[in-house]
Amino acid sequence: MEKPNLTYINKLAREDVSVKNTLINVIKNEFPIEVKEYYNSIEKNNFKEIEANVHRIKHKFSILGLEENYENANKFEHNLRESKIEVIEKEKFEQILDVISEYLKTI
């Protein structure tokens, strides 16, 4: 399984610590809110909302170096457009949400 990392953030920051810290803080602030919104939309079984939440969250995957998980989230999002939830895609998506949540506590 891929592990979150700061490679892309470091590349964007170009060794500017304040830029790096700003990017990290944005992710640390936005991610928990977006995850909560995702789970709320799951509870309501609202496919449009779930899709919108997945769309917002998946970009954090690529920023944190999770390209394979980004592609899985893309598939999940596509199926949501067709009002389908594939259990395996949903489980993978939610598993990486947990991994990222734990990782963000360490940076």
24-67 pLDDT tens trace? 999 999 999 999 999 999 999 999 999 999 999 999 999 999 99
Look at residue 18 and tell me whether its pLDDT is greater than 80: yes
By the 8 A CB rule, do 96 and 66 touch? yes
Confidence of residue 1 (pLDDT cuts 50, 70, 90): confident
This prediction has a pTM of 0.91
Of 85, 77, 106, nearest to 3 (Cα)? 106
d(CA 101, CA 32): 7
